[in-house]
Amino acid sequence: MARMKFLCDAERCIECNACVTACKNEHEVPWGINRRRLVTLNDGKPGERSISMACMHCNDPPCAAVCPVDCFLQTADGVVLHSKDLCIGCGYCFYACPFGAPQYPRTTDFGSRGKMDKCTFCAGGPEPDGSVEEYQKYGANRLAEGKLPLCAEMCSTRALMAGDGAVLADIYQERSLRRGYGSGAPGWSTAYGRNDRGSPFGPGGPGTGGA
Amino acid sequence: MRPLHALLLLIVLLAAPTFAQAQLYQVPGQNSPTTKEQVPLYVPQDDKVIGRVSIPDEKLAVLVQPEGREWREWRSHTLRLAIGGLAIGMTAVLAIFFLYRGTIRIHGGRSRRLVLRFNWADRFAHWTTAVSFLIMALTGVILTFGRPLLIPLIGHQAFTPLAEYAKSLHNFVSVPFVVGLLMILALWLRDNVPEKADWIWIRTAGGLFSKAGGHHPEAGRFNAGQKMVFWSIVLGGIGMAATGYLMMVPFAFTGIGGMQIMHVIHGLLAAGLIAAVIGHIYIGTIGMEGAFDAMGCGVVDENWAMEHHRRWYEEQLRKGYVEGRQPAE
């Protein structure tokens, strides 16, 4: 089975923010929630690079390890999802996440946080595929329709790629070879450097690392 | 001036294509990969990478923060070891001590004459702080240990509402805790200033290990042990409140690294305070006869006062706070 990954080629990204906009539109993400964002490194200096970043769907997800209510699950494709029915909005996953992926809607003026929201790799949530509840809580489930994440699908320079990690790696290495340089896949050592758990896990299942 | 400008513009326009060309068409150099395998995918990443974002959420400018790995280790293992280890260790030490010493009796028996020890304000401050602390300790422990201990028992569906209420209660009860803490500080600060007599108390361990009883180092209103509890609760409590409130307004004053440190400080202080309070509860209840009366009804037995707080007892006697005895002239 495919192991789903994101790969953002920093040499190609032109910081057009189309991926960010596509994500917000596709999933009707509320104001203030940034499932995907663009970070520019060395802004205005030689060697400036922009990287589109969202949840990387890590092999050994730190968010799942620190969650006090054990609300995360990983699909057979390696996509890391979470249950908003179980989440209590404590914010621990943001402290543990290396990429700043978890987002929290502000529910009151006193800064209390609502249930966490993050990139789902366009794979919805634990609810039945394509159900209304799933769409309302997690947004569209494109994966169930046989489509890949919209951010990558509409990237004009093909900088952001989503899909089977082995295929992405092949494309990236091929193109780096042709153009003569490549600075590595941003975040890959952090996200996929650790061994995969081998089998999907879910709330209550063994091997979420924190229990 | 004008011809000069035009000349400069011309130079720039002519130079531009060559400049752009140098940027766009990179010629494979010495370090260029010659096979696909040479293109790196996994580049070691050990430092925080911070860039710039065009969205209002400034904290998202952090692209990668490997420190999360250490925090994960802390949250998943170290924190549980610290809280559980200290609490269980303290309980074990107290259990051994109880077997050795039993309840410390009033040496001269009860005289049935009562001395005022804590008035209503003292007791209000104490119990406000105490009840808030116990609620926060319990809810905090639920959030820390619930996943390995409670979820297997009650399941995910039941644990989430429990954790949700625990979280809200933990936040809400911090307000009375701070009120009680400030009252305690104002009411008892004067009597908790370290003095020379405390050194003798510490050296003799307060007579805790002298089984014969009755040989207590002289003490004022509070002995060195009580002063240690006072300062742990006051300083630890202020530290917990400060870090706790900052965690309630996440990222208002600090970034991701600061929030992680805040959580570590909060957890370490919690571990220390929970252990200290277990000891405090022990000596105030089953550990010593007559001690609970002080906070229970505010008055203590005259013999208890004379044995444990002789200097304070004499002050109370002078002030006329001893039932059935005239103030000394």
pLDDT tens, position by position, A5-43: 999 999 999 999 999 999 999 999 988 899 999 999 999
Cβ(B236)–Cβ(B269) below 8 Å? yes
Pairing state between β A80-82 and A72-74: antiparallel
Contacts of A31 in chain B (CB under 8 A): none
Is B238 within the bounds of a domain?
Answer: yes
Report d(CA A43, CA A50) in Å as an integer. Answer: 9
Collapse the DSSP code of A66 into the 3-class scheme (helix H, G, I; strand E, B; otherwise coil) and give the result.
helix
In a domain, B256, yes or no: yes
Q: Measured between beta carbons, which residues in chain A are less than 8 angstroms from residue B148?
A: 211
- Decide if A71 touches B, using CB distance below 8 A: yes
Query: What distances in angstroms separate CA B267 from CA A62, A112, A152, B270, B273, one per listed residue?
Result: 19, 20, 41, 5, 10
Residue B121 lies in a domain: yes
Query: Which pLDDT band holds residue A181 (cuts at 50, 70, 90)?
Result: confident
State how far the alpha carbon of B23 is from the alpha carbons of A15, A142, B12, B27, in Å.
18, 38, 16, 10
Choose among B39, B68, B151: nearest Cβ to A97: B68
Q: Indicate yes or no: CB of A62 within 8 angstroms of CB of B250.
A: no
DSSP annotation string for B156-201: HHHHHHHHHHHHHHHHHTHHHHHHHHHHHHHHHTGGGS--HHHHHH
Is residue B12 situated within a structural domain? Answer: no
- Mean of per-residue pLDDT scores for chain B: 88
One CATH from 1.10.3470.10, 3.30.465.10, 3.30.70.20, 1.10.340.30 for A4-192: 3.30.70.20
d(CA B138, CA B129): 14
Residue with tokens 């995360």: A72
CA gap A129, A78 in Å, rounded: 17
Q: Please report, for chain A, the start and end positions of each structural domain, with discontinuous segments joined by +.
A: 4-192
- Round the average pLDDT of chain A to a whole number and report it: 89
B229 found inside a domain: yes
The overall pTM is greater than 0.90: no
Q: What is the pLDDT of residues B253-297, one digit of tens each?
A: 999 999 999 999 999 999 999 999 999 999 999 999 989 999 999
Number of compact structural domains in chain B = 1
Range of the domain at B310: 66-100+114-319
CATH code for the domain of B239 = 1.20.950.20
Count Cβ atoms below 10 Å from residue B46 Cβ, excluding itself.
9
Q: Does A30 touch chain B (CB under 8 A)?
A: no
The kind and range of the H/E element at A208 are none
Report the distance separating Cα B66 and Cα B79, nearest Å: 19
What does the pLDDT look like over B6-49, one tens digit per residue? 666 656 555 554 444 444 445 556 678 888 888 888 888 888 99
CB A61 within 8 A of CB A197: no
What are A72-103's pLDDT values in tens digits? 998 888 899 999 999 999 999 999 999 999 99
